[in-house]
Structure 1
Amino acid sequence: MKKILVPTDFSKQAENALKVAAQLAKQHGGEIYLLHIVEIPMHKVDPLSSYNNLPEAIYFMKLAHKQFEALKAKPYLNGLTIHEHVDLHEIFKGIFQSCKKHEIDLVVMGSNGVSGLREMLIGSNTEKVVRTSETPVLVIKNEHEKFRVKNFVFASDFKDECKTPFKKAIGFAEVLGAKIHLLMVNTPNKFLTSAKANKRMDAFVKTFKYANYSTNIYNDLNIEKGVMNFSKSIHADLIGMSTHGRQGISHFFNGSISEDLVNHAKRPVITFKI
């Protein structure tokens, strides 16, 4: 976690994410890359001109840099190396390109449920960033005076394709000193006996040299509720999941389960792409 990207719209939710990013950066000797995206309506763009020459773009870029200066003066950022950038891409493209350009290790984003993340990442950008980002995305829901992760729930179907994201989750857990609680949710439509579920989970985890974990099977009406209810029952500090493009968490989480968890879970959520 040497390079942490924090997309910001200068909202309270975005600052909650920045405060967590600052704690992580201080603890692990990292730097913070602040990114503000200025979205210019396409009907205002002259195909022969550059975005940078648009009067609206110039105004909002200058305004953003003033807001950056005020933000960087906050006491919780003292002693940190802060990089700031204003971009004129679509939100998803701006975040994606920043991650590539600066070799970002972690994206930290603020959210207050649907009105938070979806307000900042309009429409399909939510899905694109959270569910397809090649860089792990940590979504923060509330202000954390001290961001500590002792219990980390990793939900999956534990098929082979989830091994790569789980390896990333292990690295994250080791850095934070957290215990991983492996979770398989049984639902009426996708039921697996305890014997088969335990066999699959044991075979999955034995390929990793990681001892600080537990295996758990939880029955619920659907996967989203199962993940949230189990996490609540153990007072989890963080929920983790692997994302698989449009298919959610591997073949196990279909549709928009990952997005739903990000929007509805009260706890921080981190996603790792398969």
Structure 2
Amino acid sequence: MSTQDTNKIAVCTDFTSIAQHAFEESIALAKKLNAEIHLVHVLLENSETEVTADKKMAKMVDQVKDQLGDIVVKFNVVDGGGDIVEELNKEVTKLAPAYFVVGYEVKKGLDRFFGPNIMKIVRGTKLPVLAIKEDETLKDLKDIVFPLNLWDYARQKTFATIRLAQRLGATIHLIGLDVDMTDGDRRDLKIFMNQLKKQFEEYGVRYTEAILQGDDEVSVVVNFANKIDADLVAKVFHHDPGLISRLRGNQDEETLVKSNMPLFVVKSTDYMQGNWSAMRG
């Protein structure tokens, strides 16, 4: 049984414009889910105090007071001193919200190669993350793209996505990614898709299905999402950055860069090799 509080949403802030945007967009989500918002900030060592951080968060809230309605916003300030992302993830883990909203920006040049903080956040948390850029929105999340390949961890986003779709009344668009597949791979893909459809039906979630071909998976997913005017893309990011570099290149970062809509990200976890029930999540 999940220990997450379905009535909480955590939003991290460093008081930048993208953090303000993530907070503002989380309001619509909080209203839809009947949840309270927890703003979380990690103090910068020797340059901030809890008092100054509280004032800045109060200013953030004041800027959107007309939008909040009955939504409660609480402040969580964390002492710095260690790794900022690690301290952030520890605090959010204690809060145990249903979702963790994180604003991010696409960095250029070598910065992108080393990865934005969003990658460290996702790999350091056990919670589903809603990753959003400054020109993206969390309003009216009605259509969720669910990509599926034969990667062992790809289905670990299943139940988190189902729960979100149930709460939002959203439709899941299941797409099988037929990229460099053999005939045997295609048979396996259809089997896995049928298993997923049974899960969607069991939980009363609306869905569509399609099998798509293309040169690379990220482009297939992004192009399809744009074509249907989707609102969200569900993804599993690998928990081991060393392993993902060897096996999957930079697909996770590439998805962050190429997508023009928020991502619903679940971190992969290890499991014992086995049947379908061991791989779903």
Provide the aligned C-alpha RMSD in A. 3.0
Q: State how far apart, in whole Å, the 2-side matches of 1:127 and 1:168 are.
A: 19
Normalization by structure 1: what TM-score?
Answer: 0.79
Q: State how far apart, in whole Å, the 1-side matches of 2:171 and 2:242 are.
A: 24
Q: State how far apart, in whole Å, the 1-side matches of 2:88 and 2:231 are.
A: 26
Q: State how far apart, in whole Å, the 1-side matches of 2:145 and 2:179 are.
A: 18
Cα deviation digits, residues 69-127 of structure 1 (max 9, x gap): 21121222343221112221423212321222111211111134336xx79xx956432
Check conservation: 1:6, 1:33, Cα contact below 8 A. yes
Q: Does 2:97 correspond to 1:104?
A: yes
Alignment of 1:81-92 (within 5 A): 81-87=72-78, 88=80, 89-92=82-85
Q: State how far apart, in whole Å, the 1-side matches of 2:256 and 2:242 are.
A: 12
Q: State how far apart, in whole Å, the 1-side matches of 2:163 and 2:244 are.
A: 20
Q: CA 1:263–1:248 in structure 2 vs 1: closer, same or farther (change >3 Å)?
A: farther
Alignment of 1:68-87 (within 5 A): 68-74=57-63, 75=65, 76-87=67-78
Residue identity over aligned pairs, in percent, reads 25
Alignment of 1:245-260 (within 5 A): 245-246=239-240, 254-260=248-254
Gaps of 5+ in 1: 41-55
Q: Does 2:189 correspond to 1:197?
A: yes
| 1:63 aligned partner, one-letter code | T
Gaps of 5+ in 2: 1-5, 269-281
Normalization by structure 2: what TM-score?
Answer: 0.77
1:150 to partner: Cα distance: 1.8
1:7 to partner: Cα distance: 0.6
Q: Does 2:20 correspond to 1:15?
A: yes
1:207 to partner: Cα distance: 4.3
Q: Does 2:266 correspond to 1:272?
A: yes
Check conservation: 2:11, 2:22, Cα contact below 8 A. yes
What residue in structure 2 maps to residue 27 of structure 1?
32
What residue in structure 2 maps to residue 65 of structure 1?
54
Q: CA 1:177–1:158 in structure 2 vs 1: closer, same or farther (change >3 Å)?
A: farther
Alignment of 1:206-217 (within 5 A): 206-208=198-200, 209-210=202-203, 211-217=205-211
Q: CA 1:72–1:113 in structure 2 vs 1: closer, same or farther (change >3 Å)?
A: same
Q: CA 1:265–1:248 in structure 2 vs 1: closer, same or farther (change >3 Å)?
A: farther
Q: State how far apart, in whole Å, the 2-side matches of 1:29 and 1:37 are.
A: 26
Q: Does 2:174 correspond to 1:182?
A: yes
Q: CA 1:32–1:107 in structure 2 vs 1: closer, same or farther (change >3 Å)?
A: same
The SS at the match of 1:245 is coil
Deviates more, 1:31-40 or 1:235-244: 31-40
The SS at the match of 2:240 is helix
1:206 to partner: Cα distance: 2.3
Q: State how far apart, in whole Å, the 1-side matches of 2:31 and 2:16 are.
A: 22
Cα deviation digits, residues 238-273 of structure 1 (max 9, x gap): 10112331269999x823322321233111111112
Indicate which of 213, 228, 232 corresponds to 1:234: 228
Q: State how far apart, in whole Å, the 2-side matches of 1:268 and 1:36 are.
A: 22
Cα deviation digits, residues 138-161 of structure 1 (max 9, x gap): 012245677012211011326675
Deviates more, 1:221-230 or 1:60-69: 60-69
